[in-house]
Amino acid sequence: MSFFDRLKQGLARNRSGWVEQVRRTVTGALRVRGRVDEELLAELEESLLEADVGLAAVEAVLEALRQQASAEGLRSPDQVLSALRALLAEELRRHQQSLATPPEAPGVILLLGVNGSGKTTTAAKLAAQLGGAGQVILGACDTFRAAAGEQLQVWGDRIGVPVIRQEAGSDPAAVAFDTVQAARARGARWAVLDTAGRLQTRSNLMSELAKIHRVVERALGRPADERLLVLDASVGQNGLSQARLFGESVPLTGLAVTKLDGTARGGIVLAITRELALPVKLIGVGEGVDDLQPFDAGTFVDALFGEGSRSGADA
């Protein structure tokens, strides 16, 4: 059989929900050998790898499961699976926090991330949810990408929120400054700053971001209340590098994970919270203005296991 044929066969198997598959494996392993064994752990490993959790975090989680299994004598498939889920949810919950409450108005939210991760859309969704017209001001600090300002402006018009803009190519830090000042002058409760996408390895662009952060701090008298890394759920292990390097330029307060309405599971978030103790604060579940939700660890883990959707599950 050719490489491609074999791969196709493996994938066909993959198509039936893997929770069922895992449950079968767990049941089989427990019946035959009466304990959580290496074969079972290998199967669970694959499942977690497929969700982009990453090898290092997977190994740590499964080691914890192994210990728990021998200490508590986990016997039934449901016990094993729920122990695993509890472990994962606990990892995520440990650092969980809701959006900051600013000491005084305006609160400032700075959105950062690589190209195309969903910053602009998230900025618009957030502006709408934080009260929309009269309560929020959007700052178009992406002065680089083609029609980035127009994109945010269309959103602003749609949700009735003013957008502070300058012409293409101008200094993004100056736009950030203007936005904070405008928010204060107009008595807005929040200013949400959209920034240009950039890859975390571009040091000059990362300095530009650090400058935006400094200028906001100067204008506000305190650092921006939220500095959120906007992460595409379909990202793989590079997500960790993103969190590390963006965090070096601007100390992050959390993550916003977008595009969770697809089949991407966003497992890298586990590795990121483990290593950097960053909470997930928001999740994006669509392209519409209402498709932004607070993060819920339990729901997230269910979806990590391919069960249910994130959408509306918090209700």
Ligand X SMILES: Nc1nc2c(ncn2[C@@H]2O[C@H](COP(=O)(O)OP(=O)(O)OP(=O)(O)O)[C@@H](O)[C@H]2O)c(=O)[nH]1
What is the footprint of ligand X within residues 94-153 (CB under 6 A)? Answer: 113, 115-121, 142, 145, 148
In the complex, minimum distance from the CB of residue 114 to other proteins, in angstroms, rounded to a whole number: 7
* Residues in contact with ligand X, shown as a per-residue x/- string from 159 to 198 under the rule CB under 6 A: -------------------------------------xx-
CA distance 164 to 138: 6
Q: Residue 46 burial (CB < 10 Å; 0-12/13-18/19+)?
A: middle
Helix (H, G, I), strand (E, B) or coil at 271: helix
Q: If binding is defined by CB under 5 A, does position 195 make contact with Mg ion?
A: no
11 contact choice in ligand X, Mg ion, other proteins, none (CB below 5 to 8 Å, kind-dependent):
other proteins
CA distance 143 to 149: 7
In the complex, minimum distance from the CB of residue 55 to ligand X, in angstroms, rounded to a whole number: 26
∠ CA 239-126-156, nearest 5°, is: 115
Token output for 12: 């066909």
Determine which residue in the list 38, 39, 55, 251 makes contact with other proteins, applying CB under 8 A: 55
In the complex, minimum distance from the CB of residue 235 to ligand X, in angstroms, rounded to a whole number: 12
Task: Tell me whether residue 80 or residue 148 sits nearer to other proteins (CB atom).
Answer: 148
What is the footprint of other proteins within residues 218-237 (CB under 8 A)? Answer: 232, 234-237
CA nearest to 108, candidates 185, 3, 10, 213: 213
Token output for 158: 């749609």
Position 15: which residue type? R
Q: If binding is defined by CB under 8 A, does position 261 make contact with other proteins?
A: yes
∠ CA 205-210-214, nearest 5°, is: 145
Q: If binding is defined by CB under 8 A, does position 247 make contact with other proteins?
A: no
CA distance 220 to 239: 30
Q: If binding is defined by CB under 8 A, does position 25 make contact with other proteins?
A: no
CA nearest to 240, candidates 90, 56, 60: 56
27 contact choice in other proteins, Mg ion, ligand X, none (CB below 5 to 8 Å, kind-dependent):
none
Q: Which one of 27-35, 245-253, 257-265, 269-277 is the stretch in contact with ligand X (CB under 6 A)? A: 257-265
Q: If binding is defined by CB under 6 A, does position 306 make contact with ligand X?
A: no
CA nearest to 95, candidates 295, 284, 232, 250: 295
Backbone φ and ψ for 292, nearest 5 degrees, come out as -135, 130
Task: Tell me whether residue 216 or residue 230 sits nearer to Mg ion (CB atom).
Answer: 230
∠ CA 104-118-283, nearest 5°, is: 65
Q: Has 196 been labeled as part of a binding site?
A: yes
To which residue do tokens 């893997």 refer?
18
CA nearest to 133, candidates 100, 163, 178: 163
Q: If binding is defined by CB under 8 A, does position 208 make contact with other proteins?
A: no
Q: If binding is defined by CB under 8 A, does position 262 make contact with other proteins?
A: yes
- Which residues bind to other proteins, rule: CB under 8 A? 3-4, 6-8, 10-11, 14, 46, 49-52, 54-55, 114-118, 144-147, 150-155, 158, 199-202, 232, 234-239, 241, 259, 261-265, 267-268, 287
- Which residues bind to ligand X, rule: CB under 6 A? 113, 115-121, 142, 145, 148, 196-197, 199, 230, 258-259, 261, 284-287, 291
